Chain A
């Protein structure tokens, strides 16, 4: 059964560049689930890192601009990038204060609603997980759901889940037929932006996450953040070079795994484009390529 629901969609910069598979898999998945995504016209920067490290007002005004145009469209706004989501949520929270709302409205030159809901795609899918059309259950797959530092934090802004042991991604991945492991590193730091100025720190932190996932019995890691994905997926060879241990741990976006379960081919989801080989695992579990219909 298909449910029809419509959302304004804010992709954010990485989804059009380094994290293209996140954008592609999101659109493919939503198509299969009957979720209509209307990409915001002329969307701009969410302010991540550069803005909120420089100026508080600028950091609130940039996402407020996106909220203003989404609310004009009349749909709730959905983001998938953890950082974009976080920045949008900060602006959403700022709208509750009338004087700040008026100030932001003056800056973006558009009216701003007093209350507005920004959602993460995980929340949308979580709400419909019992009705999800799973045509290819991810049986035999043991996933370690990795939320990253910013998706559920700060608790009062994100208002999504427990900050130390969140469950929402685990629930939807299980609904897609996979097993999820109980582990301790769901919201630990992956090294994030340190990848560029202090690669050694990032390598150490990311390797620890991958090793912990392995120790917990997982055969893949699932993320909801392009930066986490870049660090965890893109640097495994360098981890081997630096620390001598190759984690060989496939990393997925949650949209890719659920996309597979919804019957979308691994190639259409661009899983074959990952830096760390994820296709062998899928082949082993009979999940690669197009679903085989009996």
Chain B
């Protein structure tokens, strides 16, 4: 016999201010099966839970309804109280009379009280039909995959490896390092970026627990928390890393020069290359599509039409250890992991859509990342600031904030967060490089929320003499050798016109190329712009709605270096939290197929967003669907689609839900 107890919570005045709690508590005694009721100021508090436990024991209750806030808030709390009182925790129902009632019906107390009664009546009807459920356990693979070798991924990989677990770090480019490797100095301390990054990169290369897969991409992901199976595409490097010593002869001799991605188009690199001197691994790859020998082979394959390209193969001739392998092909490897950290980072907004700023056609209008490469002593100009058009040293330099940030017209309404600070940095550094320059900064607001950030910004004004003008730049155009920058000083209420030698656009951050595809491969959500969506923006910032898949750094939203590092470490802690367990507990409120009723239509396989159902052949050669218990989230979509009603959702069975609905009439 069900013996139901109903516990009505005041939630201070949150509920009691609108719903007549004593009257509801008294009324609940009349419901079928209810043997005890009580009310409580704060049911979730320790004394509140203790009183619930006491009533359960005194009245030998075997079903409990707590009429309080949303189950998302405290269902777990009250389930623990049930266990402490010796009951199966799935004999609990939460009647949400706060979010669903008192908070939204504050102006009609009588009706709110009636609605609270209805909600409780339904919960009692359902709990009477509840069954005991028991969680299951699954084993886990104690290895982690980190996608993306920027500073976030590097930090995550090192932290997981230092906790004693194996890590595979997958990086799309020939070297790890990400954007931080491209920077000259970092705000607000003006540390040399490479100096603080390189040691960490070396650690990755040498760590016995870390396997680095450069020039590789994640292609397919299946499985579930603790048991992921991942296909990784290793692009052909055409260099045998087991032989290569990284001596550098090949890239010094390669005759084919192309634009360097690392220098953002401001410099050149060879076809066989490492992207920058401190690259890890310090071994080259051949950019095959641009290689002379590749073009020669294409010409041969096309029947030797047209002019014969040079066969080249210089790298092969000069390599002292015969490491060049032109026949190397792309390879797909499959690896198993218990947890995945996504740290795919960002790319800078392409300002070519700003036609008012020349649409990318004015040579002396550059982006901040291009300026960063010019400032870098290892960059294409050896650390000298030069105008791209004529190589002259600029005297008047204008920095433009919020290009591709805070601009709804360009589809980027969000703040990119880092630009205010790197503009201040550039103002200081430009003055350091050449004390004769005058820097102007156009801004909407200067946002300096961070430790020592405001002081750093003031340094740009006080020490570097940068002139800050509040207003958006309306137009940039070429007038002879000068660039004319038109804008407004909105504090003075006057138009401003500056004849500049160089204009630097602070291009905002957007998700990296292919971020949306990676999210789709992993079945995690991403927003309108392609940033990954965290499980909760405040309380679960590095988790996703898919267990075991963690996100960190600028792939989630604009982040600076300290934040990215912190998130890398946070994701590592979450990954280690999974990997350090021997088995994982799975929520029993999941779908189950009745094999006798299943007709094998497999509609459930098609509709499931978590890929939980799969087909199986029974001993009598029938095709039926089976639910993977570790993948099922208990959403119920398959239940609604199942025509022969073969699928039932534990905790939300058809019988339970119908009882709930019938209780209303």
Contact = CB atoms under 8 A, between A and B. Distances in A.
A162 B354 CA distance: 11
A164 B361 contact: no
B472 to A, nearest CB: 13
Contacts of A162: 355
A164 B356 contact: yes
A5 interface: no
A215 interface: yes
B477 interface: yes
A164 B355 contact: yes
Contact of A215 (B356, B476, B479): B479
Nearest to B477: A184
A117 interface: no
Contacts of B476: 184
A248 interface: no
Contact of A212 (B354, B355, B477): B477
Interface string A171-185: 000000000001011
Contacts of A72: none
A47 B174 CA distance: 63
Nearest to B486: A188
Interface in B352-374: 354-356, 358-359, 361
Contacts of A127: none
A238 interface: no
A164 B479 CA distance: 18
Interface string B460-490: 0000000000000001111110000000000
Contacts of A212: 477, 479
Interface in A187-218: 188, 212, 215
Nearest to A186: B355
A215 B480 CA distance: 8
A49 interface: no
Contacts of B477: 184-185, 212
A280 interface: no
Contacts of A165: 355, 359
Nearest to B476: A184
Interface centre among B354, B356, B358, B480 (most CB of A within 10 A): B356
Interface in B465-520: 475-480
A156 to B, nearest CB: 11
B355 A188 contact: no
A184 B475 CA distance: 9
- Which of A162, A164, A212, A215 has most B Cβ within 10 Å? A164
A183 to B, nearest CB: 8
Secondary structure class of chain B's binding surface, majority of residues: mixed
Contacts of A215: 478-480
A188 B479 CA distance: 15
Interface in A143-188: 162, 164-165, 182, 184-185, 188
Most buried by B among A165, A185, A215: A165
Contacts of A188: 475
Nearest to B361: A182
Interface in B321-366: 354-356, 358-359, 361
Contacts of A182: 361
Interface string B433-475: 0000000000000000000000000000000000000000001
A12 to B, nearest CB: 29
Contacts of B355: 162, 164-165
A182 B361 CA distance: 10
Contacts of B478: 184, 215
Contacts of A185: 477
A281 to B, nearest CB: 24
A97 to B, nearest CB: 23
A191 to B, nearest CB: 14
A255 B361 CA distance: 30
Contacts of B354: 164
B408 to A, nearest CB: 13
Contacts of A184: 358, 475-478
A162 B479 CA distance: 23
A278 B262 CA distance: 52
A188 B486 CA distance: 11
A286 to B, nearest CB: 32
Interface string B388-424: 0000000000000000000000000000000000000
Contacts of B358: 184
A185 B355 CA distance: 11
Contacts of B356: 164
Interface string B188-208: 000000000000000000000
Nearest to B356: A164
Contacts of A164: 354-356, 359
B104 to A, nearest CB: 31
A185 B476 CA distance: 10
A239 B359 CA distance: 30
B403 to A, nearest CB: 14
A182 B355 CA distance: 11
A169 to B, nearest CB: 15
Contacts of B361: 182
A159 to B, nearest CB: 15
A207 to B, nearest CB: 12
Interface string A206-247: 000000100100000000000000000000000000000000
A181 to B, nearest CB: 12
A143 to B, nearest CB: 19
A162 B480 CA distance: 26
A51 B479 CA distance: 38
Nearest to B357: A164
Contacts of B475: 184, 188
Interface string A20-57: 00000000000000000000000000000000000000
A214 B475 CA distance: 19
A185 B477 CA distance: 8
A172 to B, nearest CB: 20
Counting chain A CB atoms within 10 Å of each CB, the highest count among B358, B477, B478 belongs to B477
Nearest to A162: B355
A259 B477 CA distance: 32
A165 B476 CA distance: 13
A290 to B, nearest CB: 40
A200 to B, nearest CB: 15
A164 B356 CA distance: 6
Contacts of B480: 215
Greatest chain B CB density within 10 A among A162, A184, A188 is at A184
A149 to B, nearest CB: 12
Nearest to A216: B478
Nearest to B359: A165
A212 B359 CA distance: 17
Nearest to B409: A155
A39 B505 CA distance: 50
A189 to B, nearest CB: 10
Interface string A239-266: 0000000000000000000000000000
Contacts of B359: 164-165
A185 B480 CA distance: 15
A78 B479 CA distance: 37
A184 B486 CA distance: 12
B153 to A, nearest CB: 38
A184 B358 CA distance: 7
A163 B359 CA distance: 12
A165 B355 CA distance: 6
Contacts of B479: 212, 215
A184 B476 CA distance: 8
Interface string B108-149: 000000000000000000000000000000000000000000
20 contacts: A162-B355, A164-B354, A164-B355, A164-B356, A164-B359, A165-B355, A165-B359, A182-B361, A184-B358, A184-B475, A184-B476, A184-B477, A184-B478, A185-B477, A188-B475, A212-B477, A212-B479, A215-B478, A215-B479, A215-B480
Given A182-B361, A184-B358, A215-B480, 6 more contacts: A164-B356, A165-B355, A165-B359, A184-B475, A184-B477, A188-B475
Closest 7 CB pairs of A and B: A164-B355, A165-B355, A184-B477, A164-B356, A165-B359, A162-B355, A184-B358
